[in-house]
Every structure is written in C-alpha cells, then in structure tokens.
Amino acid sequence: MTDLPRRDFIRSAAGTTAAVGAMAVPKVYGQATNDTLQVALIGCGGRGTGAASNALRVGNGPTKLVAMADVFENRLEISLSALNNEFRETPDKVDVPKDRRHVGFDAYEKALDALNPGDIAVFATPLAFRWVHFQKAIEKGLHVFMEKPLIADGPSAKRMLELSKKADEKNLKCAVGLMIRHCRGRQQLHQRIQDGEIGDIIAMRAYRMQGVIGSCFSTKKPEHKSEVEWQIERFHSFLWASGGSFSDFYIHQIDETSWMKNAFPIKAHAVGGRHYRHNEDGELYVDQNFDTYSVEYTYPDGTKLFFDGRNMLGCQNEMSSVVHGTKGSAFVSKFGHSPRGVSSYKDQEQNRRQRIWEYDTPKLSPYDLEWEDFVDAIVNDKPYNEVPRGVEASLVTSMGRMAAHTGQEITIEQMRECPQMFAPDADKMTMDGPAPVMPDADGLYPIPKPGINKKFEYVIEA
C-alpha cells in the first residue's frame, strides 16, 4: 500500500477501524518534515499546563500548541505565560495568538476548530465535561489525551465506553493520564512480579496521607461569584466535578496496585468521616468531602487492597504502595509518583538487606514517558486506546468512595448500575445557570450521610 500523509490516512481510515486493526497498516507519519502535530489545550489549570508542557517536550514527533480554552480568562493567561516562559528558547512551540485563546463553556469547540484531523486535543477540565469534549473530538477526528479520573458515576462510565468504541471506529488514539502505567521502573517491576519474583500477590497496601490539597476543602461561596463559577473553581470540593478528593487524588494508587495484580477489585467496604469542619480562622467548610477514608478492596481471587487516605494538617504524611506476595514484597511507589525506590524484597518488611532489585534510572518522568508512548502510537499508527482501562480504574475508585459515603459494601455491579448521575446536564451548563448541587439557605451543600443515605452518596432535598 502506498504511504500516505498522516492526515490523509486519518481521513481515509474513518469508519474502517475493524479492518485497520486487522490489516498491515501503512506508515502514516513522518514523511513530511512539516507534518507537525498541533495541540489544543482544553482546561488550563495546573495539570492542564503540565500536560501541555509534556506534549511539547516529546522527542519522537514535532508538536506545537496552537489553541487554548478555559472558562476562566485569568487561568488561561497564566497558563500561556508559564508555557511561553518555559519554551522561550523554542518559541515556535507555543503559537497561541489572541484569536486562538477562547473563554467560556463553548470555548472548547472553538479551540478544537483550530485543529485538523489527526491533531491532538488535551482535556484537563473537571471530569464532568469529559464526555462532552470527547464526543466533539471524535466527531472532528482528533487524537485525545485526557486527564484522570474519567468518570465519577455509573451512567457516565457507560457513556464514555460507548464513545470509546466510536473512537476505535475512527482509528483515533486515546491516552489517559494514569502515567504510572508508563513508568519504566514500574513496568520492570510488573514483569518481575509476573515472572514470580515475589510469588503470588495475596495482599496490597496503599497510603495517601497529606495535608489540605488542591481545592478539597471550601468555605461558603463569596457573594460576587455565581454557583457554577464557584464550584468549577473549587472542583475538588464537589463530587460532580471531580469525584471529590477521593477520586481525584487516590485513583493512581488504586490503579497501580491493581495493575500489579492484573485485575480490578470487585467489591469494597469502607469507613470515613469528617473530623474538622472549620478552617484555622474558624470559617465553616461546606464541601462534600470527608477528611479521612479507609477502604478494603476485594479482588476476584480474594486478595485484598487496604487503602488509607487522609487530608489533614499536622498528621504524618505518606504516599506509598506496597504489594505482598507468597515469597516476598515490593514497593510499587515509595516516594509518591517518583520512580525512586521502586524495588522488590525477599521479606515482607522491605528490609534493604533482603532487597532483590531496585530501579536504577529514576530520572525518567512518568509524565513525559506517557506522552512519548502516546505520540509513538500516533506516529507509527499503533493500536492505542486507554479509555476502557481508564473508565474501569475510575469506576473501582468510585466504588471505594461510594462504600465510605453510604456505609455499605458496594460491588462493582452496584457501582456500575447505580443510576445517580452527578452532572447529567454538563453539556448545557452556563456560568449563570444552576449548578449540579445547590446550597441550602445556610450555604450548605448536600453531604454524604453513611447509614442514612444508603443507596446514593448524597441526596438533593426537594
């Protein structure tokens, strides 16, 4: 078959994925020196800015940022300034003039319009908008990088999986920001575990103990802000926007331990609570999060994952993941997301004298590597769709959160089939319209009540 320019191939491949997946596909990228992958950033907060930076640093394909979108103009401008500063030695990498900087709820469509089929859309908005943006990107024939989590409820999971099939039908590459899966050290550890180095995994432990992080705790809304503006700005505080602090911050370790086990858990029971409802100035917190969570996940063969999460000042901080096998144990993560300390042991206490192996090249960032792998798939037209796995990781994370919030044992079927959709009208949202959750007369939002609200994580009073 004759080689085709990448974008011509994308157009010709639309609707023929099944055949493409089964046939020897042509090289579809790299023949033309000016065939740059254009990037549009949708959601210009800290993680979105970081993802754009990773995209522009890849070494296996020329990339250029050409459009940006956010609902907050100041956030977009801060992000653009940071990227311009980072790439001041290579200014051609960032080419976002004023007419390609878009603000508002329809800004994502305008930014995507700046791209051509085969270019890359980066989605780093609150997760409630993920399916809305993904749907548009598929229509335009764009490859997609989207931040985790992908969903926070069962109906959204089903919607994303349906969209994922449509992306496959167009041979679009889809990456999800669970970057640990692309860490070379964790990949080596995974292979060592599969080869039997620590025996069969029988238990796992993970901890994310930290202070107040992101926007997880919020006081009452200032009068000069609209409800939607406030809740998007404070997205970690609201389950519809982020899955709360549980989903947004804990998903990595639930996913990385499940990866080592080669399975996802099938049920969870959990405890959690809110010890402190006031900040240091005595102001009342009104968000939907607990400040402590403890979850026992069960896998199909009975193996357990014990996960503890805490957002509380003045307490011991730790972020690590450990797996225990019949012949030894291993650190999947020892110092947060860093590859440093990824190692295996003959004992169950991770004694350095019993160490079998330790990853020795920790300078490679998983955030960069996930982009290298993503662009490699685009350039060399390799099958690449992380959405189904990203949805499953998001769903089992939500299962643990729901178990804590309801006080019930929750199975994966119950989580998947739970009809509560936190933001069903995300595609119709406006800055002045009603938010998915509204405060009562005292400025308080609906919160989880374990043992009282047993079927749903919170109830909106009529």
User: Phi/psi at 120 (nearest 5 deg)?
Assistant: -120, 130
Using alpha carbons, select from 131, 147, 148 the residue that is nearest to residue 394. 148
Which residues share a beta bridge with 410? 268
How far apart are the C-alpha atoms of 41 and 137, rounded to whole Å?
12
Report CA dihedral (407, 413, 416, 421) to the nearest 10 degrees. Answer: -50
What are the CA-CA distances from residue 231 to residues 45, 143, 149, 288, 434 (Å)?
A: 14, 29, 18, 11, 11
| pLDDT of 18 above 70 | no
| pLDDT of 12 above 50 | no
pLDDT band (50, 70, 90) for residue 15: very low
Predicted pLDDT at 363? 77
pLDDT band (50, 70, 90) for residue 462: low
Domains and CATH numbers, the chain: 37-180 (3.40.50.720), 184-364+392-417 (3.30.360.10)
Predicted pLDDT at 35? 80
| pLDDT of 189 above 90 | yes
Using alpha carbons, select from 192, 206, 150, 185 the residue that is nearest to residue 389. 150
Predicted pLDDT at 34? 58
List, for residues 66-89, the tens digit of each pLDDT value. Answer: 999 999 999 999 999 999 999 999
Query: How many residues appear in the chain?
Result: 462
The answer to whether 338 and 362 have CB atoms below 8 angstroms apart is: yes
The answer to whether 53 and 79 have CB atoms below 8 angstroms apart is: no
List, for residues 280-304, the tens digit of each pLDDT value. Answer: 899 999 999 999 999 999 999 999 9
Percent of residues, the chain, with pLDDT higher than 70: 92
Which residues share a beta bridge with 355? 345
| pLDDT of 361 above 80 | no
How far apart are the C-alpha atoms of 429 and 444, rounded to whole Å?
21
| pLDDT of 217 above 60 | yes
The answer to whether 218 and 286 have CB atoms below 8 angstroms apart is: yes
